[in-house]
């Protein structure tokens, strides 16, 4: 399917299938088309071209059936701030077509699951971001939907709560078919069995998280600080190592400043990702009698990952 907002294409000719019980992660930078795709799947907005079906129902012609089977947590958690947690969830259950006795039976279980017990009578507006997120998750799972769609469920909450939220989502994955979006690779790897990478409105990869990481590790970037060496000599020495792809001076302003103050030379070395490379680099430095003050592998940023995936696709064509 494709989706455009006026003349602006948001998602271009993407196609994927999620099987019952699968947990699929949707990974992409901001503006890649994740939210748009989820809005189409949940029936909030129809696709411009193509068809989308959820549980056999078309999202346009059988929108109500689709919506009955989906639990959705939008990116900005939609909450009525002047309602208590219980009132809000009861209301959400009712508009999802749950009858009173079902709500009564189900609500305590959900509140227990997301550990909101002590806040059940607190106004939603008084809760911290992490707890609001839990209320948001509660409304999504309340009516026991077959399919759960969660848009950036851990965005903007503190690290401890992120861990708890991820755990909660992992547990939910045991009972639901799940589509989850994120712009954090480790998060998707931790929760999902399958990852779709989306960039600029197109799906650029569809893989298991492990395979994806392997594909991405063409090179490891290492930050190195040296005392008592000339820059050209160091760079040449590094380039002589067979596992090193490239070596150069680190030009990042903050590092350069610190280097001048603390009198060391900063470098960036790209090496093939194996343990030997790092070991050989360290040995070479020591053998040359240079002072090694820092050797840190740098994590790849998401932008670099996407660049890598997209350029690789292009090479393949």
**Residues binding another protein (CB under 8 A):** 5-6, 39, 42-46, 64-65, 67-68, 70, 72, 74, 76-81, 92, 95-97, 139
Residue 29: how many CA atoms within 13 Å on its side-chain side? 12
User: How far is residue 95's CA from residue 86's CA, in Å, rounded to a whole number?
Assistant: 14
- For another protein, the closer CB: 98 or 259: 98
Shortest distance, CB of residue 95 to another protein, whole angstroms?
5
Shortest distance, CB of residue 148 to another protein, whole angstroms?
12
314 CB-near residues (< 8 Å, 6+ apart): none
Of 209, 181, 193, 219, nearest to 29 by C-alpha is 181
89 CB-near residues (< 8 Å, 6+ apart): 107, 110, 111, 135, 138, 139, 142
Shortest distance, CB of residue 24 to another protein, whole angstroms?
19
- What's the token pair of residue 68? 């009955």
Q: How many helices (H) and strands (E) does the chain have?
A: 12, 14
- For another protein, the closer CB: 45 or 288: 45
Shortest distance, CB of residue 59 to another protein, whole angstroms?
10
- For another protein, the closer CB: 58 or 164: 58
- For another protein, the closer CB: 79 or 271: 79
Beta carbons of 153 and 114 less than 8 angstroms apart? no
Shortest distance, CB of residue 88 to another protein, whole angstroms?
10
User: How far is residue 314's CA from residue 316's CA, in Å, rounded to a whole number?
Assistant: 5
Shortest distance, CB of residue 71 to another protein, whole angstroms?
9
Separation in Å, CA 298 to CA 121, 177, 264, 303:
46, 35, 19, 14
- For another protein, the closer CB: 5 or 283: 5
Give the strand pairing for 3-5 and 244-249.
unpaired
- For another protein, the closer CB: 99 or 314: 99
């Amino acid at each position: 399917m494709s989706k455009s907002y006026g003349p602006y294409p948001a998602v271009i000719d993407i196609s994927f299938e999620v099987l019952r019980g699968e947990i699929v992660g949707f990974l992409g930078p901001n503006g890649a088309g994740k939210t748009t795709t989820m809005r189409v799947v949940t029936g909030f907005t129809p696709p411009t071209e193509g068809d989308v079906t959820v549980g056999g129902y078309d999202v346009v012609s059988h929108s109500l059936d689709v919506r009955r089977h989906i639990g959705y947590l939008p990116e900005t958690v939609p909450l009525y701030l002047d309602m208590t947690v219980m009132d809000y969830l009861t209301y959400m259950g009712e508009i999802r077509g749950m009858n009173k006795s079902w709500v009564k039976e189900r609500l305590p279980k959900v509140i227990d699951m997301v550990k909101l017990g002590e806040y059940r009578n607190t106004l939603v507006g008084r809760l911290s971001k992490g707890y609001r997120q839990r209320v948001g998750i509660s409304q999504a799972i309340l009516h026991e939907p077959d399919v759960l769609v969660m848009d950036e469920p851990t965005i903007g909450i503190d690290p401890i709560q992120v861990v708890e939220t991820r755990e909660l989502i992992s547990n939910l994955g045991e009972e639901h078919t799940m589509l989850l979006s994120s712009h954090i690779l480790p998060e998707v790897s931790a929760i999902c069995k399958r990852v779709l990478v989306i960039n600029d409105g197109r799906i650029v990869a569809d893989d298991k998280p492990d395979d994806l990481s392997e594909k991405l590790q063409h090179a490891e970037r290492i930050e190195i600080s040296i005392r008592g060496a000339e820059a050209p000599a160091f760079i040449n020495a590094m380039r002589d190592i067979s596992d090193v792809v490239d070596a150069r001076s680190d030009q990042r302003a903050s590092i350069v400043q610190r280097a001048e103050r603390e009198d060391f030379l900063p470098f960036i070395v790209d090496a093939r990702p194996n343990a030997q490379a790092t070991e050989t680099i360290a040995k070479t430095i020591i053998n040359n009698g240079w002072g090694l003050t820092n050797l840190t592998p740098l994590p790849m940023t998401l932008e670099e990952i996407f660049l890598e995936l997209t350029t690789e696709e292009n090479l393949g064509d």
